Amino acid sequence: MRSTLPELYAAGGSGAFGSVPMDFSAEAEDPDTLWMTISEPIRHRARERSGPILAWWASREKGRSATAVVLGEHGLVTVEPVGEAGKEVYRVSGVNLQPGSFRSFEVTGQSNSEARPATAEAAMPFEGQMELLMRNLPGRAQRHLQAPYHDGSSLVRYGSFYLRWDRPVGTELQVWAYVFGTSRLVFVSGSRFTRHGESETLGTWQLTCRSAAIAS
């Protein structure tokens, strides 16, 4: 998805948005299973273009073939069906990254606690699923995803995916998101674990936040 340059940061400069409930109405499918529904030649082409894989996800809209996003040391690659479900027609595209430019850091702790009245917020730069995910991330991860807007890019692309798993003692939320403009790409991946009976706002995050320069 594309987004034009918004006004960022609420008064006080925290750059974090208030939390809202996430939408789990759509039944998510196992990414590993979906990845294998894409033919090996297409998967091979994606791996060739991405280089050694750092993070990835696969998802599917109802009635369509699987899509995938692969982040590797050489680039971010998207695999998208361009025909009807069951027909092996895909578009493999992406953005190349500068070798050796990757930087990363870990974010751990509880869910976003930056809730504030909507009138105190800056303009949300994302829509749909991306906005729901963004609002539930810890503040530092939220600020990381907004970084490409500060590089002077007037047009930014982004994408995200999340799904929830029931575990024996709680629920695990797995998340992936990327944002890039003309000079920088950022990517967040990881999970949040919440024990049964606890509010999701008490869930504990374990996230990896990556960034890399886009090759000219």
For residue range 20-54, list pLDDT tens digits in order. 666 665 567 899 999 999 999 999 999 999 999 99
Instruction: State residue 207's pLDDT score.
Output: 96
Please report where in the chains the tokens 């109802």 appear, as a residue: 62
Instruction: State residue 51's pLDDT score.
Output: 96
User: Average pLDDT of 125-135?
Assistant: 84
User: Average pLDDT of 139-158?
Assistant: 82
For 143, residues 6+ apart whose C-beta sits below 8 A from its C-beta are 14, 15, 16
| pTM of the complete model | 0.84
- Among 1-5, 43-47, 97-101, the range scoring the smallest mean pLDDT is 1-5
The answer to whether 28 and 59 are in contact (CB under 8 A) is yes
Q: How many helices (H) and strands (E) does the chain have?
A: 4, 10
Q: Best-predicted range by mean pLDDT among 51-60, 62-71, 196-205?
A: 51-60
Share of the chain above pLDDT 90, in %: 50
- Tell me the C-alpha distance between 112 and 62, whole Å: 31
- Tell whether the model's pLDDT for residue 80 goes beyond 70: yes
Burial class (CB in 10 A: 0-12, 13-18, 19+), 87: exposed
Instruction: State residue 128's pLDDT score.
Output: 83
Give the confidence band of 115 by pLDDT, cuts at 50, 70, 90. Answer: very low
Instruction: State residue 12's pLDDT score.
Output: 32
- Tell me the C-alpha distance between 121 and 144, whole Å: 17
Instruction: State residue 41's pLDDT score.
Output: 94
Instruction: State residue 10's pLDDT score.
Output: 33
Angle at 89 between CA 84 and CA 93, to 5 degrees: 120
What residue ranges do the domains of the chain occupy? 2-15+101-213, 31-96
Share of the chain above pLDDT 70, in %: 77
Instruction: State residue 2's pLDDT score.
Output: 46
Instruction: State residue 22's pLDDT score.
Output: 67
- Tell me the C-alpha distance between 91 and 80, whole Å: 5
